[in-house]
Structure 1
Amino acid sequence: MKKIGQKMGGIKKGWKKTAGVLLAAALLISTLGGCAGGSDINNNKETAKTRIFTDSLGREVEVPEEITSVVSSGNLAQIMLFAAAPDSLMGISGSWSDDAEEYIDRKYLELPDVGALFVGHDLNYEEITKLNPQIIIDVGEVKDSLKEDLDEITDKTGIPAVHISVSIESMGDAFRTLGDLLNQEEQGEKLAEYCEEAYQLTEDTMKIVTENGEKKSLLYCTGENGLNVIAKNSYQSQIIDLVSDNLAVLKNPSAKGTGNEVDMEMLMNWDPEIIIFAPDGYYEYVKEDTVWHSLKAVNADTYYEVPNGPYNWMGSPPSSNRVLGMLWMTKLLYPKEADFDLKEKVKEYYKLFYHCELTDEQYQHLTERSILKSE
């Protein structure tokens, strides 16, 4: 769509100008000045060119052609936006983790918190309006009320809001869409290629594992006491289901990162070969808890903790960090079949997605309760 107004240049004064020209100029200035408080034109700003973007919900949304300022609807979108166009972010959806400073440049840590649409349900419309980004972006799974939620955001802020759906299989396409939307096609393509290569490496490994009949039985346990599980066939379990036999089969799988609450009797009935604990969970207490020693994985010392920094590698939120978790979990469970260098892939991920040069020492710290423990 074309401009609906042009930026006014300054009117040069000159003694040789005729009185008629001066009068016309004065009238023009008066006319423009009398329309204060309205559109961008009235505020002496150049009206941006726009285009129509069709989001994953099929909504046709008018957005700026050149986007340089964005706000995310939540952490899931924030992670992907930070990877694709970090300098376009005007706010964050919740505080960074305590160890984020080790990986994330301080200028991003100091961005204002605008809340989140779903997790916390505390999206701060007033703060977003004050920041006045060009667009608000939501990324993730499609929820029943999402169309109405995004329309409401625009109604309250006057800022266009769009949704981009993503799963572990479609992560590459989602980054290409973001790259196109944010005029970051080259970075979007790099991110997409990493995601697709990681998925292919995992599929190749799992093909060998499945043919050999060696798929590991596993539970992913969360919560302070370890008695929550990520249930099979939930949005949060996509990686777990892909690379293991997820024993947590429940009638109503929770879509939350905390999973479904269970009890020790259920864990005993499942009795997995491998237990994965969420970061800051029950991992460090299991060794001293005699009740947990009734489980095969604990007795065999085949229980591990997900690496964490600046985000949980397996989810919470389930964004592009899960691509890293997919590679980690594949290598952890099937070190012989997984034909790739995990440290190399992790360093590449941190550089591409977190814009951080990961050191060997940082890698060792991240994996000391998983990969390094298993070696």
Structure 2
Amino acid sequence: MKSIFVGNRLRSAKMGLAALLLVTWLPACGTSGKETPQAAPTVSPSAAATAAVSAQPSPAAPATVTFTDSAGRKVELPSSIERIAPSGQLAQMVLFALAPDKLVGLSNKWNGDAGAFMDDKYLKLPVFGQFYGSANLNKEALAAAKPQVIIDIGEKKSSIVEDMDGVQKQLGIPTIFVEATLSTMSTAYDTLGKILGMPQEAKTLSDYTKEIYTTTTDTMKKIGDKKVKVLYSLGDTGTNVIAKGSFHSEVLDLMADNAAVVDNPSGKGTGNEVSLEQIVQWKPDVILFAPNSMYGKASSDPTWKTMKAISGGKFYEVPANPFNWLGSPPSINRYMGMVWLSELLYPDAFSYDMKKEVSRFYTLFYHSKPLTDEQYTSLTGRAIRK
């Protein structure tokens, strides 16, 4: 899901009839209920036909501004936003990294071990539920927390306009959608930083996601068709797989030859269920086990241990504290997954210092203190080359 802004056509004597697609912030009614005409600030269009909104309102700025979200909806937002609510866990993680102290609550409780990295005050935020997935949103509790805006971030669903309009109408709270994918999270952070009046903080996160994604894609282009054949196995029997071409396989497909090729890749985080015989036939060079899967039993299982990935010790467990590095949910945690797979699969092509990179990521996105040796070992003990 990535941020897409639809702008206004600007005209001037110098530009003739040329039309530029820009994000706009339009003066709206002030607190007095009377409209105060103001000149709308403008910025240059980006290469992706998007533009950034004004970073911070001037002293004479209006009380509200008009924002066009990634679904093409025009929504009136306060010009100064201090209280926000996420629509789901993916949005929660993206927003927490940027503006943890502006969150009035959570869509989901943090994972059980999150306290090892996050300040306790964030663990105690009220939980409102989410729009999608379990669809357990407590609208009354959310409204009582009085967020100034509800923000949905992620994949653009076919029902997105109806969904956002429905919540906004029921709650009377501005509700916007910011699209963000693995390749465009940088743009999403730039956008969010300007909406929330935090452009510098957002730039740090934007630069990081752009750096990791660009380094990964550029290096994988050089590797070309010499990708390592990898299987990502889930479940207590290990027979659920994240299939090639699925929404949850984005990082794996980018960085490896995904061994799991099925007719109908599942869009769910639980993946596709297949037979153990099928896994044997795929002959993966490396097997990644999800947490609470077959990792601890694979080397002693009669069938699993016949596979060269198991007998050769090339099987690993995906780190998952506080979130799985390859997804679940498919949010900012996947950038740490890209760094991990770079070092795990192609150590000669990348030059990461893993401990330094893990600590860097956790500091930026989870607001953790620099990791201790014990924390790093706990995270990566089953995830690095034996």
- Structure 1 length-normalised TM: 0.85
Q: Residues 241-320 of structure 1: matches in 2 within 5 Å? A: 241-320=253-332
User: Structure 1 counterpart of 2:354, which letter?
Assistant: L
Contact 1:205 1:339 (C-alpha < 8 Å) held by counterparts? no
Most deviating of 297-306 and 354-363: 354-363
Q: Residues 344-355 of structure 1: matches in 2 within 5 Å? A: 344-355=356-367
Contact 2:231 2:260 (C-alpha < 8 Å) held by counterparts? yes
* Structure 2 residue 155 is the aligned partner of structure 1 residue 129: no
Q: Which has the larger radius of gyration?
A: 1
Note the C-alpha offset of 1:58: 1.0
User: Structure 1 counterpart of 2:72, which letter?
Assistant: G
* Structure 2 residue 378 is the aligned partner of structure 1 residue 362: no
C-alpha distance in 2 between matches for 1:66 and 1:359? 38
Tell me which residue corresponds to 2:48: none
* Structure 2 residue 135 is the aligned partner of structure 1 residue 109: no
Most deviating of 312-321 and 356-365: 356-365
C-alpha distance in 2 between matches for 1:151 and 1:186? 31
Tell me which residue corresponds to 1:206: 220
Q: Residues 7-26 of structure 1: matches in 2 within 5 Å? A: none
User: Structure 2 counterpart of 1:344, which letter?
Assistant: K
C-alpha distance in 1 between matches for 2:278 and 2:140? 46
Note the C-alpha offset of 1:251: 2.1
3-state DSSP class of the match of 1:287? Answer: helix
Note the C-alpha offset of 1:226: 1.3
3-state DSSP class of the match of 1:226? Answer: coil
C-alpha distance in 1 between matches for 2:240 and 2:65? 46
Question: Residue 83 of structure 1: which of 89, 97, 102 is its match?
Answer: 97
Q: Residues 61-210 of structure 1: matches in 2 within 5 Å? A: 61-210=75-224
Note the C-alpha offset of 1:345: 1.7
Note the C-alpha offset of 1:253: 1.4
Tell me which residue corresponds to 1:225: 237
Note the C-alpha offset of 1:348: 1.2
Contact 2:228 2:286 (C-alpha < 8 Å) held by counterparts? yes
Structure 2, unpaired ranges of 5+: 1-26, 34-61
CA deviation profile, 1:99-152 (whole Å, cap 9, x unmatched): 110011100000111111112111111111111100111111111112111111
3-state DSSP class of the match of 1:190? Answer: helix
User: Structure 2 counterpart of 1:248, which letter?
Assistant: A
CA deviation profile, 1:181-207 (whole Å, cap 9, x unmatched): 111111111001001111122123323
Contact 2:147 2:173 (C-alpha < 8 Å) held by counterparts? yes
C-alpha distance in 2 between matches for 1:6 and 1:157? 23
C-alpha distance in 2 between matches for 1:108 and 1:64? 24
CA deviation profile, 1:56-88 (whole Å, cap 9, x unmatched): 111111111111111111000000000010001
Structure 1, unpaired ranges of 5+: 8-47
CA deviation profile, 1:160-187 (whole Å, cap 9, x unmatched): 1111111111111111111111111111
User: Structure 1 counterpart of 2:317, which letter?
Assistant: E
Tell me which residue corresponds to 2:354: 342
CA deviation profile, 1:14-47 (whole Å, cap 9, x unmatched): xxxxxxxxxxxxxxxxxxxxxxxxxxxxxxxxxx
User: Structure 2 counterpart of 1:253, which letter?
Assistant: P
Moved over 4 A (4+): none
Over the aligned positions, Cα root-mean-square deviation in angstroms equals 1.7
C-alpha distance in 1 between matches for 2:156 and 2:222? 33
3-state DSSP class of the match of 2:382? Answer: coil
Note the C-alpha offset of 1:6: 5.2
Identity, % of aligned positions: 44
- Structure 2 length-normalised TM: 0.83
